[in-house]
Amino acid sequence: MERRTFLKTVAAGIGASILPATAEAQHSTTAKRVIVAGAGITGLACAYELMQHGLDVTVLEASGRYGGHVFTGHDGLSDGLWADYGADHLTRPGYEQFFRYVEAFGLEAAPYPNAEGSPLPANNGQLTQIGGAFYTDAQLADPATLRMLGFNAKEVAFLARHPWYELPTLYLADHIARFDDPSQPFGNGYDDLDAIDLDTLYARQGASQRARDALGGQHVNALYGVWRFAVMKERGIPLSEGETFHLKGGNGEMPKAFAARLGARVRLDHPITAINHDADGVTVTYTAYGRDEPQTMRADYLVNCIALPVFRRIPVTPALSPAKQYVVDNVTYSSHPFFVFEAESKFWLDHGFTNLAMSFEHPDIQSIWVVPEAAGATRVILKAFGPSGLSPQRVLAAFREVYPGKRDTIVQALTHDWSKDAFAPTCEMEPFASGTLRQFWPEILKPDGRLYFAGTYADALSRGMESCVRSAARVAKEIADA
């Protein structure tokens, strides 16, 4: 596809999405019937888009709660405070489709500086622990420090003038500039990069071991890595990933807004137990809450918006094509918890720190940052990043080991263990491994007969909730146009 055509297609898919409700009537003659599997952010957005296209849609959700991995929790917190235990933040730029919904639904996005380790705003009191010592942004731009850390002369000169997150451009600027058609990875003159990982590419380009450690390209398909930077450039997303925001009241406000508009179309506690498909449509077997006997529902199309590791437990008859089955069985996801601490005060201010935005080298806690205060609350919410399965108390103990200040005022430590969540255990898609991109792309976007697929993995740029809602809008349009 030509770049211009691709852009037009993408713009059409998104532009058509937020239509006034009266547009439903204009399309109602088509009356295609669609079942959306899963009421996470993808399924809800897809159902909303299908509804806007005038299609007859039903969402079947296995759990008793919609939203999936977008989850704002209030339990255990005082003063009406809340915390996002799943999707943490939005970025600007980078969340264009998502922000269209924010506007259309009258939601409010609030600045959330340095969210989840975001480098923006720069020089905002962040501290990075390296070799046991803590460094400010300014110290990390100091040539003496950079040399001491092991960067080569070229890197020292670059990092003295650019923030660390721009380091990829030192070695890949030419690759990115010559990537003509970011709508797909192949055919841009770099197909051979599918065979190696990004770390190997950085090494070939002359990166020091220290830079390679910081860049972290091991296990990342080099073609995928370069392509990703090219798509980000195309979409105007800087290497900082943009400024960070969250929704006022929590990111759970977005699934709530979709669900409010979908009304009775969303059926909670209706797990799908089998999918049968043929040339004319799809028959889904499911159990309704409180009933033992299975029921069936027929539709013209099904959109799978369930994360693939959960979806593949559902029998599909006839079986998916081998190419599609490969995708379903081999897409890998990240899965990690957030640890939420409630503190009585901004204790770090008393210890001489202007911000609590720190990254650590402790195995039980990698970073901590502050969630902007809610109006009227004197208490404050902190979020920490640590390994799955640990108790919040253990992560808090790790924080107390490494925090460079004095006594904190944390009085509560909570988490949501996604690894124990039967229906939404996974977060974002992990990069493809070297040598595998051809098996995933473009199959990862394709339907299998009447079964369509949307989710964080089903977009040219797998990137948080934006890729969920973009893939949802794309698939809804494909079905409406079919």
Partner 1 sequence: MLKTIGLSIAALSASSFAVLLHAAPAATGLTVDITSPADRSRLPWDAQAPYAVAVSYDGKSTKYDEIPADAVVLRATSLTDADAPSARNAGPLAEGVARISQSNCMGCHDFAASSAGPSFAAIGKRYAGRSNAVTTLAGHIRNGSSGAWGGGAMPPHPDLSPAQAQAIAQWIVAHGNDRAVRYSIGKSGSFRMTPPAKPGPRSGVVLSAFYTGPLKPGDTGKATGRDTVIVYGSGS
Residue ranges that bind partner 1, judged by CB under 8 A: 216, 218-220, 264, 271, 273-274, 285, 288, 290-291, 308-309, 312-317, 319, 328-335, 363-364, 387-390, 394, 417-422, 425-426, 430-431, 433
Q: How far is the CB of 326 from partner 1 (least distance, A)?
A: 10
User: What b-and-e string marks burial along 218-241, b requiring 16 or more CB atoms within 10 Å of the CB?
Assistant: eebbbbbbbbbbbbbbbbebebbb
Q: How far is the CB of 386 from partner 1 (least distance, A)?
A: 8
Pairing of strands 380-385, 410-415: unpaired
Q: Which of 169, 135, 142, 139 is nearest to 156 (CA)?
A: 142
Q: Which is nearer to partner 1, 394 or 446 (CB)?
A: 394
Tokens encoding 54: 């005038």
Q: How far is the CB of 294 from partner 1 (least distance, A)?
A: 9
C-alpha span between 217 and 202 (Å, rounded): 8
Tokens encoding 445: 């976007």
397, 341 Cβ separation under 8 angstroms: no
C-alpha span between 234 and 236 (Å, rounded): 6
Q: How far is the CB of 174 from partner 1 (least distance, A)?
A: 25
434, 226 Cβ separation under 8 angstroms: no
Give the phi and the psi of residue 3 in degrees, each rounded to 5.
-60, -45
Q: Which of 21, 17, 58 is nearest to 300 (CA)?
A: 58
Burial (CB count <10 Å: 0-12, 13-18, 19+), residue 100: middle
Q: Which is nearer to partner 1, 42 or 426 (CB)?
A: 426
Q: How far is the CB of 63 from partner 1 (least distance, A)?
A: 12
Q: Which is nearer to partner 1, 92 or 394 (CB)?
A: 394
Q: Which is nearer to partner 1, 81 or 310 (CB)?
A: 310
Does an H or E element contain 185, and which?
A: none
Q: Which is nearer to partner 1, 274 or 377 (CB)?
A: 274
Q: How far is the CB of 16 from partner 1 (least distance, A)?
A: 31
The reply to whether omega before 185 is within 30° of 0 (cis) is no
Place of tokens 């698939």: 475
Q: Which is nearer to partner 1, 102 or 396 (CB)?
A: 396
Q: How far is the CB of 363 from partner 1 (least distance, A)?
A: 7
Q: Which is nearer to partner 1, 83 or 272 (CB)?
A: 272
